[in-house]
Chain A
Amino acid sequence: MTFTQITLQLLSGFGTTLLLFVLTLVFSLPLGLAVCAGSMSRFKPLRFLTRGFVWVIRGTPLMLQLFVVFYVPGMLLNWPIFASLRHGRFIAALLAFVINYACYFSEIYRGGIESVSQGQYEASAVLGLTKGQTFFHIVLPQVIKRIVPPIGNEVITLVKDTSLARVIAVVDIIMEAETILSLHALIWPLFYTGVFFLVFNGIVSFSLRKLEQRLDYYKI
């Protein structure tokens, strides 16, 4: 196998990795907001339930959650939905990632919202702002500024976490490299995958830093 062939084969695996990355963010960032609303709800049972769920998800390994999502429907409902569907394994991985990351994001959102000082709400109230106006014009911009750095850290972690999907046989870049290893007895492609992660993470970090700089025109 030539270098180009190997690069192309690894890239096809990396496509899956990227897709998992992008779709996880697309779904988990908004879902995190809903989880956050639940964990800050004034309705106690909902609040406890949500916080308990977040605690479980954050307290167990993502790898375990992947297994649970993939196998439990088959065991419980006698319906191995993810094993039978064409892209079932990928969907199972995506589901596990979305749930996991939504929980992490919800905690970051909560921290961001709780860090806005009481004085900001009071100043808004005295000026006759409605609750909605206070949230969208006063609170949310400050929350966004505060959460961009921690969200960025999670995003970088996600780039690397995507490689966990292979435990339920989602063919990612590392699995492609292993195939090459077993078929062609070449070990270096396995190490070569690191370059893909590094380049991608470089792009992500750079974009995040730009975003932070754009929000840097004021201090809280």
Chain B
Amino acid sequence: MAFFEVTDLHKSFGNKEVLKGVSLTLDKGQIMAVIGDSGNGKTTFLRCLNFLTEADTGTISINGETIFDANIPLKPSELRKKRMKMGLVFQSYNLFPQYTVLKNTYLAANLLVKEEASAYAKTLTNASLSEKRRLVSDFKKKRKAENVENAKQLIGSMGLDDESDKYPCQLSGGQSQRAAIARALMLSPEILCFDEPTSALDPKLTAEVLNVIKALKEEGRTMIVVTHEMSFAASCADKIVFFRDGKVVEQGGPEILTDPETADLKDFLQLNKE
């Protein structure tokens, strides 16, 4: 069984069927590039993977664990746990404007500390009440400090050391997108998805962000990137998936970009050359 497996994902908005049965697999540590013309369901597909949109039918599994099954509704708390296995970087960054880059990065992790602490408190069966309280408060402090440290490290690895204390309104597009990547990495998702992460950026900033994604690949991260950057797809992706009309029309190694099998992909590549 593949590390990441999507089977028969369907999604309709009203009577418009946007995903018409998407199935694909991805191995650990690989990059999948999703390509295709506008309006063919690429974003909808990523949103389904991250539960922002609920697919009508189909399943998603990571490492053999089913994280989504349209037939089995989940409680909000379970859903939250499962969705944290996936990360998503938006085209428009969606950083939180009122927080610095650093706080944007550690916020979600720190908000989880409360739950971690109550789980930890349950393990302290022998401690007295006052001792328990002290241990739990120490635990919280320690976890929060670790999160801040971890966030700083991630920000550094994104080349944003000097921007750590800046607010999103003070960042360039490329810096914003790298900050958004740091934020998404904070919860160590099994799979990180990108929805056209560079389409709002000029060529220089695009290169900045794509280099970061390449570096993440070196670290062994598993990623799915919706992109219009054919050269990036050709040079970085282990797997190319071509969407047309809500379906995966062709998939394979990067060689399909030079030697496509289907007329549709041939057609698409021809148009995207100019």
Contact = CB atoms under 8 A, between A and B. Distances in A.
B108 interface: yes
A138 B96 contact: yes
B97 interface: yes
A128 B108 contact: yes
A127 B90 contact: no
B30 interface: no
Contacts of A39: none
Contacts of B96: 120, 123, 138
Interface in A140-173: 141-142, 145
Contacts of A137: 107, 111
Nearest to A218: B167
A145 B96 CA distance: 13
A127 B108 contact: yes
A219 B97 contact: yes
A120 B51 CA distance: 15
Contacts, number: 58
A128 B183 CA distance: 12
Interface residues of B, number: 28
Contact of B108 (A120, A129, A219): A129
A129 B104 CA distance: 13
A87 to B, nearest CB: 43
B177 interface: no
Given A141-B98, A218-B97, A218-B168, A125 B92 contact: no
Contacts of B24: none
A185 interface: no
A122 B98 contact: no
A146 B96 CA distance: 15
A218 B52 CA distance: 28
B80 A128 contact: yes
A91 to B, nearest CB: 40
A129 B111 contact: yes
Contacts of B184: 126-127
Nearest to A219: B169
A220 B168 CA distance: 9
A130 interface: yes
Given A122-B90, A127-B187, A218 B108 contact: no
A145 B189 CA distance: 32
A220 B169 CA distance: 7
Given A126-B50, A142-B97, A218 B169 contact: yes
Interface string A209-220: 000000001111
B108 A125 contact: no
Interface string B88-100: 1010101111100
Nearest to A125: B52
A145 B98 contact: yes
A219 B92 CA distance: 16
Contact of A119 (B76, B90, B169, B183): B90
B106 to A, nearest CB: 11
B84 interface: yes
B83 interface: yes
A15 B239 CA distance: 76
A123 B97 contact: no
Contacts of A120: 94, 96
A126 B167 contact: no
Contacts of B107: 127, 137
A9 interface: no
Nearest 10 CB-CB pairings of A with B: A127-B108, A123-B94, A119-B94, A219-B169, A218-B167, A128-B84, A141-B98, A126-B88, A220-B97, A128-B80
18 contacts: A119-B90, A120-B94, A122-B90, A122-B94, A123-B90, A126-B50, A126-B86, A126-B184, A127-B107, A127-B183, A127-B184, A127-B187, A128-B108, A133-B111, A142-B98, A218-B97, A218-B168, A219-B167
Given A128-B187, A218-B97, 14 more contacts: A117-B94, A119-B90, A119-B92, A122-B52, A123-B90, A123-B95, A125-B83, A126-B52, A128-B81, A129-B111, A133-B111, A137-B111, A218-B167, A218-B168
